[in-house]
């Protein structure tokens, strides 16, 4: 059946979606009508015949996931959610793109019921879907008896030409093919239109060949022919041997009178006159806007009622499965509740007695956490031995081994960040992704989205300063720490030693409201004598007095992070010998510190002590907020150099002796 049989429910339903989308965008005076109108046929067929969901239980573990990676087409998703009975009213639709509405310009996780992830930055949704597909395989393998599991759903991701151009889509699709994630279905809205015009301007590759080379199956269809759409989605919903790409050739702004097929429909309202012409073309009578007919609502309601029966049946079967398999039930309960980590368990880790890099200490702590908490999964972007992230008591996840908890992302930092987001979104996983701090720039968009969505993702970022040494300025972070600190909602934690690293992991695991970035050293650092100095659990408050001033009145505060804390303690000792009463504050996480009450913050960095110094082997960034306009900021605001770390430490003034000289000379001014 074609999409032009005017008496069919398909025609009425899809035109309702087209018109509802166009009207909401027109009312908002901004938006992207082209995609919702062009993709309505294929999305209608998916939702009405194949997608498994329950509008009353949006967290149902066995629901199919639908991800709109092409997030600019958000009105398509909002229209479907409204018509199929999610908690999204017609009034919400009318408030599209308005302040604090439930229908923001791009889909936002946690704002709109039924939205699985925040999308808009193109390509992110594809990688999120890969993360969800990995999560599905991991959880299914653990909820399985004799090879049979009650978990049996699909991950659908809808993407456009822009998604396909983004580098992250290559990384993610390559990984999905390598791992043979055969429960993922990507639907490609191949309308060959971008904002600037036809895709011929900048995009001419063989997408089918590309995906086949990744190890995907590919089906090409006319995205407006219901028979072809149905055939492709029937295949997609079945048991596939490989991940599947459905290439749907569509016409942007399908149904528009003057803008069908035009790039002008991509990112701007069509205009009131055009809306009227569209209504005439569709045979819609009356002047009222935002109309969803009873016939369309009843059609959707019948599908929802059918799905509710399937949901009820599955729920009973799942409860019986858990009852019959108490070992699996125990795992699932433990996994679902995300057991809190006792900081004492981690502080008792055997780090030896000598110096140890915080990346190495982190690796030891992770082994403990993995045994205590089954939700911890993750890996590195091909730097596992350097990042110390491999969980030794657990297998690697692969196409042949789905129970593994170690992921090998390959050199794909950007995809790694977004895949980790997908894992966190899928279920109760606590995913981690590791690389060198300098390469966190490659995954920044995914980190930002994790913070926006408040996902429980942990980034392990090692080789944190010029102490990388001989690898030189391309690998020596300077501006990265403050760049990460500028991301709202991201906890950046730079521990001073092994004990603070243990505390950092406890904080990161137990605070599910924020993603966390652990900033760790390449070089060995001293283990601070906690019998002489304050306990590392002070890290849980972000900053703490690790060594108080001597008996007389406070004269100077030295604030340091990471590897510079030990040096700050030596500077304090030298100053004490000269009669200067200095306090050392270890400030591993300024974000956590800022969440403390004013009384605590004042007790650590009192306003009446105006002589303050900060020491951090990175950009001076925002340190004047803490030391004041007249305070001394010791940092590095230039690129590093290729040389042994010890030499750079001396040249850049970070030896205890040179730090002492800098502070002492400043005090004498």
Looking at the annotation, which residues are catalytic?
413
- Which positions ≥6 away from 649 have C-beta within 8 Å? 466, 467, 655
- Which positions ≥6 away from 194 have C-beta within 8 Å? 161, 162, 201, 202, 203, 263, 266
Question: Residue written as tokens 């822009």?
Answer: 162
**Signed CA dihedral, 246, 247, 252, 256: sign only:** negative
Residue 162 CB-half CA count within 13 A: 20
Q: At 209, phi and psi to the nearest 5?
A: -65, -40
- Which positions ≥6 away from 279 have C-beta within 8 Å? 19
- Which positions ≥6 away from 78 have C-beta within 8 Å? 21, 24, 88, 92, 93, 96, 103, 112
- Which positions ≥6 away from 253 have C-beta within 8 Å? 33, 34, 37, 38, 259, 260, 261, 262, 265, 270
Which residue in 542, 457, 468, 556 sits closest to 503, CA to CA? 542
CA distance 230 to 301: 20
Question: Residue written as tokens 């049996």?
Answer: 152
CA distance 411 to 541: 35
- Which positions ≥6 away from 36 have C-beta within 8 Å? 17, 18, 21, 22, 73, 75, 76, 79
CA distance 662 to 654: 10
Characterise 8 by phi-psi region: left (phi > 0), alpha (psi -120 to 50), beta (else). Answer: beta
| Residue 539 near residue 503, CB atoms below 8 Å | yes
Residue 301 CB-half CA count within 13 A: 7
- For residue 600, CA distances in Å to 122, 577, 597 come to 42, 29, 6
Packing angle, helices 207-214 and 167-178, rounded to 10: 40
Separation of first and last alpha carbons in the chain: 85
**Tokens, residue 531:** 């019998």
Which helix or strand (DSSP H or E) is residue 560 part of? strand 556-560
| Residue 254 near residue 18, CB atoms below 8 Å | yes
| Residue 346 near residue 361, CB atoms below 8 Å | no
CA distance 584 to 548: 6
**Tokens, residue 32:** 């992207």
Question: Residue written as tokens 């039924």?
Answer: 114
């Amino acid at each position: 059946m074609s999409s032009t049989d005017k008496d069919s429910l398909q025609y009425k339903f899809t035109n309702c979606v087209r018109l509802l989308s166009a009207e909401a965008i027109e009312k908002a005076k901004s938006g992207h009508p082209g995609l919702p109108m062009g993709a309505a046929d294929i999305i209608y067929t998916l939702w009405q015949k194949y997608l498994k969901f329950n509008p009353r239980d949006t967290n149902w573990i066995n629901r199919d996931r639908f991800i709109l990676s092409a997030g600019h087409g958000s009105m398509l998703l909002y229209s479907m959610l409204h018509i199929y009975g999610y908690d999204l009213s017609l009034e919400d639709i009318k408030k599209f793109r308005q302040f604090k509405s439930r229908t923001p310009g791009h889909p936002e996780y946690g704002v709109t019921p039924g939205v699985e992830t925040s999308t808009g930055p193109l390509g992110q949704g594809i990688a999120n879907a890969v993360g969800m597909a990995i999560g599905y395989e991991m959880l299914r393998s653990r909820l399985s008896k004799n090879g049979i599991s009650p978990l049996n759903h699909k991950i659908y991701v809808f993407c456009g030409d822009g998604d396909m151009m983004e580098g992250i889509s290559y990384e993610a699709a390559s990984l999905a093919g390598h791992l043979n994630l055969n429960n993922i279905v990507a639907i490609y809205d191949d309308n060959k239109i971008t904002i600037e015009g036809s895709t011929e301007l900048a995009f001419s590759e063989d997408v089918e060949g590309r995906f086949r080379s990744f190890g995907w199956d590919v089906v090409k269809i006319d995205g407006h022919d219901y028979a072809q759409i149905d055939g492709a989605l029937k295949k997609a919903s079945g048991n596939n041997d490989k991940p599947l790409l459905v290439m749907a050739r569509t016409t942007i702004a399908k149904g528009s009178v003057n803008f069908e097929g035009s790039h002008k429909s991509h990112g701007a309202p069509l205009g009131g006159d055009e809306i009227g012409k569209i209504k005439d073309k569709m045979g819609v009578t009356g002047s009222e806007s935002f109309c969803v007919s009873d016939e369309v609502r009843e059609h959707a309601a019948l599908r929802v009622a059918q799905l509710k029966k399937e949901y009820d049946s599955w729920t009973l079967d799942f409860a019986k499965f858990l009852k019959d398999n108490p070992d699996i039930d125990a795992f699932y309960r433990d996994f679902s509740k995300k057991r809190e980590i006792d900081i004492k368990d981690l502080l008792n880790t055997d780090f030896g007695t000598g110096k140890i890099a915080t990346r190495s200490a982190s690796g030891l702590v992770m082994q403990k956490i993995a045994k205590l908490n089954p939700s911890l999964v993750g890996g590195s972007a091909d730097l596992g031995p350097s990042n110390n992230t491999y969980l030794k008591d657990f297998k690697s996840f692969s196409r042949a081994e789905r129970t593994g908890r170690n992921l090998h992302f390959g050199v794909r930092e950007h995809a790694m960040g977004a895949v980790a987001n997908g894992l966190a979104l899928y279920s109760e996983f606590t995913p981690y992704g590791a690389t060198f701090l300098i390469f966190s720039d490659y995954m920044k968009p995914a980190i930002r989205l994790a913070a926006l969505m408040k996902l429980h993702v942990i980034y392990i970022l090692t080789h944190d300063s010029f102490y990388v040494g001989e690898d030189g300025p391309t690998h020596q972070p300077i501006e990265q720490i403050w760049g990460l600190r500028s991301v709202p909602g991201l906890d950046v934690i730079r521990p001073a030693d092994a004990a603070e690293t243990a505390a950092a992991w406890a904080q990161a695991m137990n605070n599910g409201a924020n993603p966390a970035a652990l900033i760790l050293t390449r070089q060995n650092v001293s283990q601070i004598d906690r019998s002489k100095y304050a306990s590392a659990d002070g890290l849980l408050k972000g900053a703490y007095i690790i060594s108080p001033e001597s008996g007389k009145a406070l004269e100077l505060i030295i604030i340091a992070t990471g590897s510079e804390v030990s040096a700050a303690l030596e500077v304090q000792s030298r100053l004490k010998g000269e009669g200067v009463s200095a306090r050392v504050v270890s400030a591993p996480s300024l974000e956590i510190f800022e969440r403390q009450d004013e009384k605590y913050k004042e007790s650590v960095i009192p306003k009446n002590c105006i002589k303050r110094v900060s020491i951090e082997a990175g950009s001076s960034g925002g340190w004047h907020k803490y030391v004041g306009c007249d305070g001394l900021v010791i940092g590095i605001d230039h690129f590093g150099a290729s040389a042994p770390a010890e030499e750079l430490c001396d040249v850049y003034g970070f030896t205890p002796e040179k730090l002492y000289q800098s502070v002492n000379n400043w005090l004498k001014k």
